[in-house]
Structures are given as C-alpha cells and as structure tokens.
Amino acid sequence: MQGAEPKPSEELILNAAVKVFTRKGYAGARMEEIAKEAGINRALLHYYFRDKETMFNIIFETKFKEFFTGMFGVFQSNASLTEKIRSIIDHEITVLSKHPDLARFVIMEIAQQPDRLIQFGQKLGFNPRMMLQNFQKEIQQNVQEGKIRPIDGRQLLMNIISICIYPFVAKSIIKTMMQMDENTFSDLMEKRKKDAYEFIINAIKP
C-alpha cells in the first residue's frame, strides 16, 4: 500500500534530482551526481524510481505545471486586460525569482522534444491554445473599443511573456554583463514588476 506522505529518502532523492535535472538538463544530468547530492547510494535511486527517464518525467511534470499553471490561471480570470497584464507580470516574476532554473529547464526540454508540450499539457488537462486564443480576442476587443492602441495580439502576448521570462533565462549573461551580484539581480527583478508593467501599459495606451 502506498502511503500519502513520502519517506524521507524518497523526498531527499527527489529534491536532489530536481536540483541536478533543472541545472543540467536531462542529457547533462548524472545519476551519480543526484545520489551524491542526496547523500545516498546510486542503487537507491533505482529502488525508488525505476530509471533515469522515470525520474525525469516525474520532475518534468512538476516543473511543467509550476511553469504554466499560474500563467493560465491569470488568462482565465475575468479581470480587465490591464489587470491581467499586471497579474501575469507579478506572478511570473515572483515564481521565477523563487525557482531560478525553472524557465530555462522547461523551455530547453521542450525544445529538445517539442511533443512534450502536447503530452504533458494533455496529462495536466489544460488546453494552452484555447487560453491564448481568448486572450488574443480580448486584446482585439480592447483595440476595437479604442481602449488600447492598435496592435497584433500575438505580438503583444509575446512581448509581455518575453519581458517577464527572458531575464531569468539569460540570468547568468545579464548578471555578468551588468556586473550584478545575486542580491542586486533579485532587487532589480522585484523592481521590475512595477517597471515592466508601466513599460507595457505606456506602449499600448492610445
């Protein structure tokens, strides 16, 4: 009988595996490194999780959910367009600040195997296309009502997402080039919630 709460080792392994997989990706991750990180024998990895691929899928599913769920929650809400924009920015920056490797990991692994997007999307029961389409319709409507400047909904959507996510994907480059330490970067991202919002709002207001 499978208990509800995971054994300490199982959780230990999972945490270690998350670290290694999200940092190195599937191809770069080593079972040895995961075991070392968890402070246990490599064979135990196979005792709790059949093999590398099984482990990866469990972790990828978690991270996939973490990456997409909140975003789609916002899209589905019935707030105004500007409120939605504020929520998306706020949510994305908050989540990615907490999980530094999340975006890069999910994006890279989907780029490696694009069908994972369909596969895990279905498994988690959401339909990305619908949500995006609705959001784009909403933009069109706002344009027609003269609430915002004329703009291609796809471009606006890409702009919002790019502005939120890219700095985390390219974090190491940005930190080096702008000579920031970890704290400076965090602070800048916190400030970015406001700055990015104003930037986008100014860009689209009539």
Partner DNA sequence: TGCACTTTTAACAATTTTGTTAAACAATTA
Partner DNA sequence: TAATTGTTTAACAAAATTGTTAAAAGTGCA
Which residues contribute to the site for DNA (CB under 7 A)?
7-9, 29-32, 40-44, 46-47, 50-53
Nearest approach, Cβ of residue 124 and a copy of itself (Å)? 14
Q: How many beta carbons lie within 10 A of that of residue 151, not counting itself?
A: 16
Per partner kind, with CB cut-offs from 5 to 8 A, the member of DNA, a copy of itself, none near residue 7 is DNA
Tell me the per-residue interface mask from 126 to 165 with a copy of itself, x by CB under 8 A, - otherwise: --xx--x----------------x-xx-xxx-xx-xxx-x
Contact 109, 119 (CB under 8 A): no
H or E stretch including 57?
A: helix 52-76
Q: Does 44 bind a copy of itself (CB under 8 A)?
A: no
36 binds, among a copy of itself, DNA, none (CB under 5 to 8 A by kind): none
Nearer to DNA, 34 or 74 (CB): 34
The contact pattern for a copy of itself, residues 81-110, with x = CB under 8 A and - = no contact, is -----------------------x--xx-x
For residues 116 and 99, is the Cβ–Cβ distance under 8 A?
A: no
Q: What's the CA gap between 148 and 124, in Å, rounded?
A: 34
Which CB, 143 or 163, lies closer to a copy of itself? 163
189 neighbors 97 (Cβ within 8 angstroms): yes
Beta strands in the chain (DSSP E): none
3-state secondary structure of 158: helix
